[in-house]
Amino acid sequence: MKIVLDCNVVITAGLTNGTCRKVFMSVLRDHTLIISEPVIKEYASVIQRKKFSAYQPYLRELVLALCQLGELVEPVECNFSLPDKDDEKYLAAAQAGKASILITGNKKHFPKDCYGDIQIVVPSDYKEY
């Protein structure tokens, strides 16, 4: 199965040993992670925030690993509108990579349960599909 991970899931997985890390490891182990250049740029930008300064070397390595392990796609124009336009890059990558699931810890930015064939799932509801 092809899956897109929102930035908040990746960062939380890198910082804490909890649900997001379990989801993250399951996706990398058992599925295909879909990434795009805009998604990778956001991952890289967010880890530069001051609040993550103590963890930046580790988080940089994590993002580099995702670049190597993920399937890089050229995003398509997003057919859906979201409350935060910056999050549309995740749906655009999911559409381009024909992902079935987008996992986000920020459900309010993806208010519908599905966008076309893409199911929106929060980490606590993710089951190893």
pLDDT tens for 32-82 read: 999 999 999 999 999 999 999 999 999 999 999 999 999 999 998 888 889
DSSP class of residue 5 equals E
Architecture of domain 2-125: 3-Layer(aba) Sandwich (3.40)
Q: Cβ(121)–Cβ(103) under 8 Å? A: yes
Task: Give the count of beta carbons closer than 10 Å to the beta carbon of residue 32.
Answer: 15
Do strands 118-121 and 114-115 pair parallel, antiparallel, or not at all (unpaired)? antiparallel
The rounded distance, in Å, linking the Cα atoms of 30 and 128 is 8
Q: For residue range 83-109, list pLDDT tens digits in order.
A: 889 999 999 999 999 999 999 999 999
